[in-house]
Amino acid sequence: MTWNYSHKTALVTGASSGIGEVFAHELAKKGCNLILVARSQEKLKQIALKLQNTYSINAIALPIDLTASNATEKIAEGLTTLGLSVDILINNAGFGTLGSFDKIPQSRVNQEIQLNLVALTELTHKFIGPMIERKKGIIINVASMTAFQPVPYMAVYGATKAYVLSFTEAIWAEYRDSGVQILALCPGETKSSFHAASGSDSLKGKRMEPIEVVDAAFKALEKDRSMMIAGLNNYVMAQVIRLLPRSTVLKFAKRIFQPALGNK
């Protein structure tokens, strides 16, 4: 399915770096107007201004902390004030925490669930209705390769991403004939600020460029896919995980993540 992005409006969360920032750049290239959401106000404004000047589109920075329980209401209020509707929703914002579960502060666990799961669900619920009425729209929810198996020492992150994958594929089936395209995007290790923020920077492995992940998403939309695993090696790994005994997968995952704990 070919989409005309010109003069459409896309809301991108986590737009100040990594996959979210690249999504913003690529959508701007296609002539799409942007609403950029992240916590970092100055960086967000710089990105919005640069994209606006480079591609002659409208780019608005909405500095909002999506870990706050009223974040979706704030976004909705901002859009109402601006008189904007959302044609494309990119739910990209998310973070993880490397550590033994009992040693991670409860406040951080709550924020992780709020951002990765609650905010994503609320934003999807908020904007899918108008898209259905218009019989046109795109929703991309960024999951992860961790959606395919539990992740020892990143238990909450893996669980939230499993939810994102299951939730997104379910509503893809519900609304397949509505004109709204819905995609769960599953990247593996990707170059971004995620690893520094999660404390997993010491994990070794080849990391994809964010543009590779974003390109995979656009290709999946053209094929009306419910889910896209970015990268051939990641696709193969996901299939292997499904074939192996669950206990084997968990033991292997523990051996990968445990050495990175250090003194955590």
pLDDT tens readout for residues 39-57: 988 999 999 999 999 999 9
Write down the pLDDT at residue 198.
47
Look at 51-60, 70-79, 232-241 and tell me which has the smallest mean pLDDT: 232-241
Specify whether 157 is catalytic.
yes
pLDDT digits (tens, 9 = 90+) for 96-140: 999 999 999 999 999 999 999 999 999 999 999 999 999 999 999
**Cα dist from 264 to 51, 187, 189, whole Å:** 40, 26, 21
Domain 9-261, architecture per CATH: 3-Layer(aba) Sandwich (3.40)
DSSP-derived 3-state class of residue 9? strand
Write down the pLDDT at residue 259.
78
| pLDDT above 90 coverage of the chain, percent | 77
Residue 78 and residue 65 in contact, taking contact as beta carbons nearer than 8 Å: no
Domains in the chain: boundaries: 9-261
Residue 91 and residue 66 in contact, taking contact as beta carbons nearer than 8 Å: no
Given the residues 5, 157, 175, 235, select the one marked as catalytic.
157
